[in-house]
Amino acid sequence: MSELYATAIFLFVLFALLGSSVWIGLALMGVAWVGMELFTSRPAGDAMITTIWTGASSWTLTALPLFIWMGEILYRTRLSEDMFRGLVPWMRWLPGGLLHTNIAGCTIFAAVSGSSAATLTTVGKMSIPELRKRGYPEHMIIGTLAGAATLGLMIPPSLTLIVYGVAINESITKLFMAGIIPGLVLAGLFTLYIFGWHFFSKGQRPDPEPHMSFGTMINESKFLIPVLMLVTVVIGSMYMGFATATEAAAVGVIGSLCLAAMQRSLNWGTFSASLMGATRTSAMIALILMGASFLSLAMGFTGLPRALAAWIDEMQLSPVVLIAALTIFYVVLGMFLDGISSVVLTMAIVEPMIRQAGIDVIWFGIFIVVVVEMAQVTPPIGFNLFVLQGMTKHEISYISKTALPMVGLMMLMIVILVAWPELATWLPDNIRKGP
């Protein structure tokens, strides 16, 4: 059988298995097995387990369950109420008013959680009813929330970046640091959008907030202190070089347990629920990673990555054109796959390509996160859309329409990243060395 036929069969099986709703991790394993049988005479099963075992028992990966657990604990505390109360005094003055609590709340929660869905539910369960009560237009509440919640993927800790780092064998701490500034810039873009809405659609503005004395303001904002301390400790310890990503995650888990205990929302029920929830989510990601590690082994034998990299080299594509092409590719892929799956599925092919084109892999990690963020809010499959549908009972089509401006802003973010790559690369190059 010629190489080309084999490749065609391989890709067909890949899409057939994924499309027929086999669980993604197992589908990747199945495809990889087909690839091994087609392209090499190596015993597939033994190679499979060796690869999977090495990947599954790696030390780098241990940051993943701990960060998931940390998010699960905080999700079960009264943090969302506290954050809303603490943010209101500061946001009520801004043009656009309390809509900014969506952005600021998501930014803060993103700094303690690695998942977009968790950020969305935590912030949304407080801000949606409160903003509705105050008469903000529905499309702004939902749109800004859907967009801002994707910051959970970008601002460290970020599960997508951990998975990316494990897939290409890069330092997770560096990737985390790279995510901070672009995350804040993106949050800034969302904020500007709310300013713009405030000035351009005057008719939609709700009544201004009642007066609040300075004393009350200070008193209310004390609710923000615990979570801000947690953010400082987790991100600061990584930045200052005191702790690796995994150690920062462990500190984060203990910190959030303390925070929950302080709020008196820590009991056996919430503790075990958070632990079991985290175990399930981490097993879900682990299964995908197992499938992906076997698939990248098989992918290596197909020669597809090398051929594509050589082809890119031959075409003399400029990095900008390559990035544009990859953006479209990932947006299309993101319509059907979730972020983590589309990262692990493609890295075996894309990594040699970007290295060949001379693109910085840390920068590329941030780029891929922005694209994955877009995928979270674009139909037909967008995770945030489903979560929001569950929370607000709106149609998916309505929610995705309200989130459309945010997708535009994320596109703008990609342009900004291409124009000023230092946004992503400056901070990781300047991490302090540990004591």
Partner 1 sequence: MRDWQNYLGLPLWVWLFVMPAALAALCLFQREKMGRILRPLWRILDKVYFASGVVAACFMVMILLLIVAQMIARWSGWVFPGSTEYAGYSMAATSFFALAHALTRGAHIRVSILLNINNFFKFWLDGFAMLIAAVTATYFARYAIKTNFMSEMLNDRTQGQDFVPEAVLTFFQMFATAPWNWGTLWANSESGWVYTPMWLPQLPMSIGSILLAIAVWDYLTRLLVNRETSIIGEAVE
Q: % helix / strand / coil in the chain, to the nearest 5?
A: 80, 0, 20
Q: How many residues bind partner 1 (CB under 8 A)?
A: 69
Q: Which is nearer to partner 1, 27 or 99 (CB)?
A: 27
Q: Does 396 bind partner 1 (CB under 8 A)?
A: no
Q: Does 314 bind partner 1 (CB under 8 A)?
A: no
Find how far residue 41's CA is from the centre of its chain.
38
- In angstroms, what is the minimal distance from the CB of 85 to partner 1? 24
Q: Does 380 bind partner 1 (CB under 8 A)?
A: yes
Q: Does 161 bind partner 1 (CB under 8 A)?
A: no
Q: Compute CA distances 329 → 83, 116, 291, 322, 325, whole Å.
A: 37, 21, 22, 10, 6
- In angstroms, what is the minimal distance from the CB of 248 to partner 1? 10
Q: Which is nearer to partner 1, 68 or 224 (CB)?
A: 68
The Cα 278–Cα 22 span in angstroms is: 23
Interacting residue with partner 1 among 5, 8, 12, 19 (CB under 8 A): 19
Q: Does 337 bind partner 1 (CB under 8 A)?
A: yes
Q: Does 62 bind partner 1 (CB under 8 A)?
A: yes
Q: What is the DSSP string of 301-341?
A: HHTHHHHHHHHHHHHT--HHHHHHHHHHHHHHHHTTS-HHH
Q: Which is nearer to partner 1, 40 or 221 (CB)?
A: 40
Interacting residue with partner 1 among 2, 4, 57, 264 (CB under 8 A): 57
Determine if the peptide bond prior to 380 is cis (ω within 30°): yes
Q: Does 426 bind partner 1 (CB under 8 A)?
A: no
Interacting residue with partner 1 among 10, 14, 18, 149 (CB under 8 A): 18
Q: Compute CA distances 388 → 109, 251, 407, whole Å.
A: 17, 31, 16
3-state secondary structure of 274: helix
CB of 157 closer than 8 Å to CB of 165? no
Interacting residue with partner 1 among 22, 94, 233, 324 (CB under 8 A): 22
Site stretch for partner 1 (CB under 8 A), options 45-53, 131-139, 148-156, 220-228 = 45-53
CB of 133 closer than 8 Å to CB of 143? no
CB of 105 closer than 8 Å to CB of 149? no
Q: Which is nearer to partner 1, 41 or 430 (CB)?
A: 41
Find how far residue 165's CA is from the centre of its chain.
13
Place of tokens 């946001």: 91
Q: Does 296 bind partner 1 (CB under 8 A)?
A: no
3-state secondary structure of 419: helix
Site stretch for partner 1 (CB under 8 A), options 92-100, 163-171, 241-249, 354-362 = 241-249
Q: Does 33 bind partner 1 (CB under 8 A)?
A: yes
- The 271-290 contact track toward partner 1, x by CB under 8 A, reads -x--xxxxxxxxxx-xxx-x
Interacting residue with partner 1 among 139, 372, 383, 428 (CB under 8 A): 383
Site stretch for partner 1 (CB under 8 A), options 29-37, 86-94, 122-130, 222-230 = 29-37
Q: Does 210 bind partner 1 (CB under 8 A)?
A: no
3-state secondary structure of 22: coil
Residues 6+ apart with CB under 8 A from 150: 116, 373, 374, 376, 377, 384, 406, 410
Q: Which spans of this chain sit near partner 1 (rule: CB under 8 A)?
A: 17-27, 29-30, 33, 43, 45-46, 48-50, 52-53, 56-59, 61-62, 65-66, 69, 72, 115, 117-118, 121, 243, 246-247, 249-251, 253-254, 272, 275-284, 286-288, 290, 336-338, 341, 380-381, 383, 386-387, 390
